[in-house]
Structure 1
Amino acid sequence: MLGLMQRRELLISSIIVHAARHHGAGEVVSRRENGALVRTTYAEVELRARKLMGILAELGVKFGDRVATLAMNSDRHLELYYAISGMGAVCHTINPRLSMDDIGYILGHAEDGLLFVDPGFLPLAVGAAAKAPGVVRAIVVLGEEAEIKPGPPPPGVRLHAYETLLAQANIAPDWPVFDENTASGLCYTSGTTGRPKGVLYSHRSSLLHAFAVALPDVVGLRATSRVLPVVPMFHVNAWGLPYAAPMTGATLLMPGRQLDPVAVLHLINVERADVAVGVPTVWNALLAHMRATGERFDTLKRVMSGGAALPRALVEGFAELGVHAFQGWGMTETSPVVTLNAPKPATADQSGAVALDHACKQGRALFGADVRVLGGDGEVPWDGRTPGEVSCAGHWIASGYFRHESEILSRDGWLPTGDVGVIDANGYLKLTDRGKDLIKSGGEWISSIELENIAVSHPDVAEAAAIAVPDDKWGERPLVIVVPRTGKTPDPEAIRAWFAGRVAKYAMPDRVAIAEELPHGATGKVLKTELRRLYLAPTE
């Protein structure tokens, strides 16, 4: 027997409809590229998003089409989030920190007919579109006509100003209704070897993830909250905050491109933020600035960190300023939040070194997702000591990659993450290593294989290996070790300069070391464990 309950599809558009109806005066505060703060409301965002649906249709967007964005956090980007998915198309957020080659590949692979860009990213967008000829029909600059910089677009690509299009648009009478399992968003990983892979979210998965993120033991949003997502909207949907904040009526504070400590602190204090969310790199820089200047937070109470392990020093530093710093864990394939470090009765009374050690764990699973650690004989004991491969499953966990035939799930439907970790008796996950030799710097993944391939393309290099070295600011930075070709004497700085333009700036190695040979195992593979022993060993 079925229950006698109404059936409503779990659609992303229902969030902004609710926000406009019940939190219509709720604010979205955005910093423009010129530094000016502009204000709008959820009622206005919903109205403009309905206008935008009509514009998208006029520009040829159909149900299921992918529409790309190359933009930072703003009210205009928020309008795109709702209009694109709301009409049944797919909002494809692209990381502007990727190389132009990768962005061009992503545009072509996703077949993005339209590309919406912040004014400052227009040259990048034009160059990337040229690398995907015949794919992008139009580029829309998120601003006024005056913000379109002169210069011809690629052949066959039209340029539009966002505000001009909106001024001429009619308001769509209502939001369409369709299956909640329809694709809503697309985000390509930057952390896998080889080309980026697309993770395709659904309306249902995104809504369920937003419900979980808003819970008290996660971000803990209320209608009176004022939340600053420093994490960009191209990073796994800003961890669900563009959905969770309107869902609860919380004020959204959008920082735009100004993510330096002075700008972030100004926005926090002037706009009375009580919670902020971002990667450790941002919080490290902010904490260093406040220590140097003696400034204080006026209203900030909580900082959520993710994208890389939360250092113990950050927890201590923010505590000294009266702010609780905590971390969550996940990945692009997990929407992203799977675990969050919030107290249980068994851990709530911890103090001192015990509490700090506990704060450095990735946390416990949210309802709607689950995590496990597997060893050779199945799931390992929850003893905080026995390591294994971390995998996860749940309502917002990917089952495959977009237009990619390989299977990514285990036979019983769990997603292996490539991470190694332990789980303690209270269910808290702690990552101890990575199964792959990826480097994570400032929340961005860097492929060691990509760095190695570029290094060996240099005419003076015979062999190369890339490893991660600890860094106080970025968490990790890449070190590239090269073996010269016979008769060659490569200069380390010249090798380092070889990477410029071949990888994103954040992936440039900080240092290149020259070695006579690399250690190899029996199968011919480079022994990176030995390289770490040699190059990361403490010096006397």
Structure 2
Amino acid sequence: MGETSSRGWPTGIAPHHRAFHEAGLWPQRTVADHAEALAQERGGDLCLIDGVGTLTFAEVWRDASALAAGLRGRGLKPGDVVAFQLPNWREAAVLNIAAALSGLVVNPIVPIYRDAELRAMLGDCGARALFVPAAFRTVDYPAMARRVAADLPALDHIFTVRGAGVDDYAALLAQGAALPAARSTVDPTAVKLVLYTSGTTGRAKGVLHSHATLGRVIVQSAAYWGVNSGDAVLMPSPVTHVSGYANGLEMPFFSGTCSVLMESWDAGEAIALINRHGVVGTVAATPFLVELAEAARAAGDRLPSLRFFACGGAAVAPEVIVTARGAFAQCAPFRVFGSSEVPLVSFGWPDDAALAATTDGRIVDYAVRIVDGDGRDLPPGSEGEIVARGPAMMIGYADPAQTAEAIDAQGYFRTGDLGVVSADGAITVTGRKKDLIIRGGENISAGEIEAVLLTHPLVADCAVVAMPHPRLGEGVCAYVVLRDAVDPAALGAHVAAAGLAKQKIPERFVTAEALPRTPSGKIRKEVLRSEIAERIRREAA
């Protein structure tokens, strides 16, 4: 990967991808190629369902072709970046196909981001066009887009969706339908997606994927989970996050499924959609699983069509999986492990209830090593940093320096997660490398303490972080979200009763109504560390 694009992004086959390319492990067609074939073969079948309408495969191809021509007519050319900050609307899928058949790079941006994040991401990737909702909830997205555009000379176009006017999505479709086709020859190994990590520390990083890398994980996961052509998959996760993007916007075209998109999560509505469309599964945040199981049990509805629920992104107590499994007729809930950089490292254990509850899944399609702080391999069963390499791994980051730091000499991505791999290929994430609390020179895993706290019946959520300690350097602080009042001493006793060392019992418990999270559901521990440090500083003043 010795060449770079005009934007500085890598071109050609990355060194850590070369073996996969030579082995023929990647799909040879882009998502647009698949969309065109499905429009011809199954044109009348439903492809996308959202809160206000539906699209068949033929309709998606018709609209994507028109949109591609419309964008070309506005001066966009292969390699340009088109960003979208859209809810789970079917127009996002059409835009994704239009970009793929035109050789444009897409930049999905989560709708909760505001001026600062939007300006930073659009500026970093040099986006030339941005699609935003004409109206969505209480945020004036067009006004926000115009504000940030003043600082972004490359951003030539702001298009609204579900509005009116010459720069609206519908008008662009109409304009494009009257123009010549804008099909380009697209290399499946070229950059097709720049997705900024929500990140729990520092500024967001631009993760680069190709048609080939994303196509690989979609095909492999669908096969593993038993998702077949014609099945309906529910997508409540944001389509601007890697899980929602891959499984909501792309899976229909690689696997022939129908995506049922939810604009916002509501367990009761989810039950209705699952039953109405015969939904077979979903990939979503763990709280959604908890609420769906509770709502199904309350309604006396065991959701007979549902076969799987893949969840992850944060600590998942075994009881959550066990309890949810009991609420459904045949659904297998399970934990998975992955990130924007390496989606997915594990695909869960749909066929083993015990391992589904106690581990983060079976490693599939990746080579995984557990290493110490110096990158040396640790013996089986040892806890260390998880490093992974596989054909669905990212090309790299938009910033080459970040890529060099994140990928080692053997092509393994340093996940920053701590974990253990068992002899049968089960991976269990035990915490974050940066979550280690160094108390008096002794390393303490925050994840180990969190797992115990989550078994307490009155603890709904928790996060353990380091706090300043005058003698030991760092102490242990636990933020807890409670279902009902409980004495902190009782929580400490609960941790002690689990057999953990005395040093691991939190010295301070802080009650919170909710924990700060990133759009992907990860707890923002840097916020909690900062908050407890400031609280201790004020107390000492």
- Report the TM-score, using the length of structure 2 for normalisation: 0.72
* 8 A contact 1:17–1:46 mirrored in 2: yes
- Percent of residue pairs bearing the same amino acid type: 24
**SS of match in other structure, 1:185:** strand
Q: 1:48 aligns with which of 55, 63, 66?
A: 63
Q: Which amino acid aligns with 2:136?
A: G
1:401 corresponds to: 397
> Are residue 261 (structure 1) and residue 276 (structure 2) matched?
no
> Are residue 248 (structure 1) and residue 255 (structure 2) matched?
yes
The alpha carbon displacement at 1:470 in A equals: 5.1
**SS of match in other structure, 1:224:** coil
* 8 A contact 1:239–1:337 mirrored in 2: no
Q: Which amino acid aligns with 1:16?
A: A
Q: Which amino acid aligns with 1:130?
A: R
* 8 A contact 1:221–1:245 mirrored in 2: no
- Structure 1 distance, partners of 2:265, 2:332, is 21
1:360 corresponds to: 358
- Structure 1 distance, partners of 2:49, 2:476, is 39
Q: Which amino acid aligns with 1:199?
A: V
**SS of match in other structure, 1:325:** strand
* 8 A contact 2:243–2:283 mirrored in 1: no
- Structure 1 distance, partners of 2:308, 2:175, is 42
> Are residue 432 (structure 1) and residue 438 (structure 2) matched?
no
Structure 2 CA distance for partners of 1:50 and 1:428, relative to 1, 3 Å: same
- Structure 2 distance, partners of 1:173, 1:89, is 15
1:533 corresponds to: none
Structure 2 CA distance for partners of 1:57 and 1:20, relative to 1, 3 Å: same
Q: Which amino acid aligns with 2:338?
A: G
1:457 corresponds to: none
Structure 2 CA distance for partners of 1:94 and 1:261, relative to 1, 3 Å: same
1:102 corresponds to: 117
Q: 2:369 aligns with which of 353, 372, 375?
A: 372
* 8 A contact 1:45–1:75 mirrored in 2: no
The alpha carbon displacement at 1:192 in A equals: 4.6
CA deviations 1:165-198 (Å, max 9, x no partner) are 2123226547322322221111001115221110
Superposed CA RMSD: 3.9
The alpha carbon displacement at 1:402 in A equals: 0.4
> Are residue 386 (structure 1) and residue 361 (structure 2) matched?
no
The alpha carbon displacement at 1:516 in A equals: 4.5
CA deviations 1:89-116 (Å, max 9, x no partner) are 1010001223431122111111212111
Q: 1:211 aligns with which of 186, 205, 219?
A: 219
2:31 corresponds to: 12
2:349 corresponds to: 342
1:527 corresponds to: none
2:144 corresponds to: 127
* 8 A contact 1:280–1:306 mirrored in 2: yes
The alpha carbon displacement at 1:21 in A equals: 2.1
- Structure 1 distance, partners of 2:277, 2:415, is 38
Q: Which amino acid aligns with 2:150?
A: P
Structure 2 CA distance for partners of 1:223 and 1:206, relative to 1, 3 Å: same
In the alignment, structure 2 segments of 5+ residues that lack a partner are: 1-21, 437-445, 451-462, 469-473, 484-509
**SS of match in other structure, 1:40:** strand
- Structure 1 distance, partners of 2:476, 2:171, is 48
1:271 corresponds to: 277
- Structure 2 distance, partners of 1:97, 1:178, is 32
- Structure 2 distance, partners of 1:430, 1:223, is 31
**SS of match in other structure, 2:288:** helix
- Structure 2 distance, partners of 1:106, 1:124, is 15
In the alignment, structure 1 segments of 5+ residues that lack a partner are: 149-158, 453-463, 474-491, 520-540
- The within-5 A match list for 1:166-205 is 166-170=173-177, 172-173=180-181, 175-205=183-213
* 8 A contact 2:130–2:158 mirrored in 1: yes
CA deviations 1:295-325 (Å, max 9, x no partner) are 4424222212132244323322332222210
Structure 2 CA distance for partners of 1:364 and 1:49, relative to 1, 3 Å: same
- Structure 1 distance, partners of 2:209, 2:99, is 13
Structure 2 CA distance for partners of 1:466 and 1:123, relative to 1, 3 Å: farther
1:28 corresponds to: 47
Structure 2 CA distance for partners of 1:372 and 1:510, relative to 1, 3 Å: closer
The alpha carbon displacement at 1:162 in A equals: 1.1
Paired residues, what number?
A: 443
- Structure 2 distance, partners of 1:8, 1:326, is 27
Q: 1:165 aligns with which of 172, 178, 203?
A: 172
Structure 2 CA distance for partners of 1:225 and 1:510, relative to 1, 3 Å: farther
* 8 A contact 1:85–1:185 mirrored in 2: no
Q: Quick check: which one's helix share is greater? A: 2
The alpha carbon displacement at 1:365 in A equals: 2.2
1:531 corresponds to: none
- Structure 1 distance, partners of 2:98, 2:255, is 19
CA deviations 1:230-281 (Å, max 9, x no partner) are 22211115262232222222121111x2312122222112222121221112
CA deviations 1:458-498 (Å, max 9, x no partner) are xxxxxx9997735589xxxxxxxxxxxxxxxxxx99x99xx
Q: Which amino acid aligns with 1:307?
A: G
**SS of match in other structure, 1:378:** coil
* 8 A contact 1:117–1:139 mirrored in 2: yes
- Structure 1 distance, partners of 2:201, 2:270, is 33
**SS of match in other structure, 2:64:** helix
* 8 A contact 1:274–1:302 mirrored in 2: yes
Q: 1:85 aligns with which of 73, 89, 100?
A: 100
1:483 corresponds to: none
2:338 corresponds to: 330
Q: Which amino acid aligns with 2:334?
A: F
Q: Which amino acid aligns with 2:231?
A: S
* 8 A contact 1:9–1:178 mirrored in 2: no
**SS of match in other structure, 2:341:** helix
The alpha carbon displacement at 1:30 in A equals: 2.8
- Structure 1 distance, partners of 2:337, 2:245, is 10
Q: Which amino acid aligns with 1:283?
A: L
The alpha carbon displacement at 1:220 in A equals: 2.3
**SS of match in other structure, 1:221:** coil
* 8 A contact 2:73–2:176 mirrored in 1: no
When structure 1 is superposed on structure 2, of 111-120 and 397-406 the one drifting more is 397-406
Structure 2 CA distance for partners of 1:132 and 1:403, relative to 1, 3 Å: farther
- Structure 2 distance, partners of 1:62, 1:134, is 22
Q: Which amino acid aligns with 1:50?
A: S
**SS of match in other structure, 1:168:** helix
- Structure 1 distance, partners of 2:76, 2:392, is 26
